Structure 1
Amino acid sequence: MPSSVINYFSYDAAAKILKIIFVTDIVYRYKNVPERVYKMLKASGSKGRYFNSNIKDKFKFQKLEEE
């Protein structure tokens, strides 16, 4: 389901890195994210709501340059 806040996301299981590109083109890499969190984000009907409740302010992150 498309999100009004998240444009794209991907997960590197080996590194436990969740990469999220927001509709504003800002890119964040979230570190030490369990695979179950990624799978729940993927399955969520509201990506933005899941992100706010379960990822934002819960994991260390790195803001990257626009892609």
Structure 2
Amino acid sequence: MHRKEVDSTVIASLGYDAMTNTLEVEFHNGRVYRYLKVPKALYWRFASAKSHGEFFGAEIKDRFDEHKVR
């Protein structure tokens, strides 16, 4: 999955697969997670958020099934 870099102290990059509604988040610590069944509109809000870390904590973390990629 192609990810785009974001300006965040916590998150390094974001990717999204619209065919499977899968969000991929790479953190600055090197870990990568995939979040399942994430609506496309939520991904776009996340990608354009003023604070990606705050948005992640409030809207993504613990709200979707997650799988560690690395």
Please state which band the TM-score falls in when normalised by the shorter chain: over 0.9
SS in 1 for 2:50: coil
- Letter of the 1:39 counterpart: W
RMSD across aligned C-alpha pairs, in angstroms?
Answer: 0.8
1:15-57 Cα distance to aligned partner (Å, 9 max, x none): 0000000000100000000001100001100000000000000
Report the TM-score when normalising by structure 2.
0.90
Report runs of 4+ in structure 1 exceeding 2 Å deviation: none
Q: Which runs of 5+ in 1 are unaligned?
A: none
Residue identity over aligned pairs, in percent, reads 35
Report the TM-score when normalising by structure 1.
0.93
Q: Does 1:59 align with 2:64?
A: yes
Instruction: Give, in whole Å, the separation in 2 of the partners of 1:37 and 1:58.
Output: 12
Deviation at 1:60, TM superposition (A): 0.2
Instruction: Compare relative contact order (CA 8 Å, sep 6+) and give the higher one, 1 or 2.
Output: 1
Query: Aligned residue pairs: how many?
Result: 65
